[in-house]
Amino acid sequence: MRRIIIGSGVAGLSAVEAIRSVDRGVEIIMLGDDPHGYYSRPGLAYFLTGELHDKALFPKTREDYSRLNFSYKKTRVKGIDRKNKAVILGDGSPLTYDKLLLATGALSVPMTVPGANLQGVVKLDHLEDALAILKLAKRGRTAVVTGGGITALELAEGLLARGMKVHYLLRASRYWRGVLDERESRIVEARLQEEGVEIHFRSEVVEIQGRSGRVNGICLLDGRVMKCDLFAYAVGIQPRIDIARNAGLACDRGILVNEYLQTSDPDIYAVGDAAQVYDPLSGRSVLDSLWSPAREQGFAAGLNMTGQVKPYIKTVPFNVTRLAGLTTTIIGAVGHGGDEDVVGIARGDSETWRQLPDAAVAQSGFDVNRVRLVIGEDHLLGAVVMGDQKLSTPLQHMIAEKMNIALIRDRLLMKDARIADVILDYWMRSQAG
């Protein structure tokens, strides 16, 4: 019996842990094309700023891997031979499986403007990208960053921390408008500007200029030319599904899976950024690029690969991140949909966030920098908490558990409501019994 996992990220490793929790003897082989194997992808932002040493990105020890007892092969997978239940490795050799897991992740949507292949055009998918950026990020030089979502800010702040002059280009009129409301966007923008980032709204790159094969400037749609030594982009990600599609598996924007994370082939599973999972909140299959769902999906799929029956119930998307140095928690449905700066989904994002049904209320200017709630008929649908995080845990539970808010709904909707006090009081009372 052989279980093969394609992908060395958190979803793949979580599947290994799940398999080993119930079966110590089955052969497990992990295949990956990342030269660094498993590491913390969310930690790359802190690695760029210098807050984390590269060794801190690797949370697992040799002893941890030894206990898991699996083989790791650094190789590219060319295809899947479903008829013979084999994966075709980069050298053309087949490797048979009984159960197969696709944890192939996602890659940045590429820039397609002229000059996109010049040296000094960078993205942030992997540790190898971060290492390349650090070699190019020279103090006193100029960088231009374009894109929306979390990764664009990670790039801007990382380059700023390395002593570069940073220009941040947004095609839209404000930052991450598909997820944040205007006040939240302006908070992030103001903090970036205070740090020294120069923001350019309604600015679209149409050409990257170079000299001797290296970036030395960009041209904008309105005719402006900006000189720079490095150009970084984060305009969205695309699931790595070619191997699944070429094998005839059912795919939409991601690899379609059922509640057991099985693809249209019952012996092949898919998880993480590459998988399109049914979301009971919206009633449709959506993409997530969040760390926790990837880990949870990997563990559930691993159990199912051993013969157990473990449905994956998609939970309310939840992420704690840092936006311009401000701790921000995003839970459930909070956004407005489209965003000119993000193609499809951004890294660290969930499609569920892009919904804003029913009523929204917000409170600013108190000990929490900002809290916004999206209120349904009888329960909370989403929340954004910026700054002081004492509300984030209560709100996560209230939204995930669909706690009935009939007793406080009218108070939350009142003009100038002190919604933080209302939520904390309600939460404390509910916990007291």
pLDDT in tens, 97-110: 999 999 999 999 99
Start and end residues for every CATH 3.30.390.30 domain found in the chain? 320-432
pLDDT score of 433: 65
- Give the separation between CA 401 and CA 425, rounded to whole angstroms: 18
335-357 confidence digits (pLDDT tens): 887 789 998 889 999 988 888 76
Q: Does domain 320-432 have CATH number 3.30.390.30?
A: yes
pTM above 0.85, yes or no: yes
Q: Does domain 110-235 have CATH number 3.50.50.60?
A: yes
Start and end residues for every CATH 3.50.50.60 domain found in the chain? 2-107+238-305, 110-235
Per-residue pLDDT band at 280 (split at 50, 70, 90): confident
Sheet holding 205-211, edge to edge: 205-211, 214-220, 225-227
Q: 203, 106 in Cβ contact below 8 A?
A: no
Provide, rounded to the nearest whole percent, the portion of the chain with pLDDT above 90: 87
pLDDT score of 43: 95
Instruction: Report the chain's mean pLDDT, rounded to a whole number.
Output: 94
213-242 confidence digits (pLDDT tens): 999 999 999 999 999 999 999 999 999 999
Q: Could you tell me which of 34, 13, 27, 33 has the C-alpha nearest to residue 96?
A: 27
Which CATH number is correct for 2-107+238-305, 3.40.920.10, 3.50.50.60, 3.30.2130.10, 3.30.360.10? Answer: 3.50.50.60
- Give the separation between CA 93 and CA 96, rounded to whole angstroms: 10
Minimum mean pLDDT among 29-43, 60-74, 263-277, 365-379: which range? 365-379
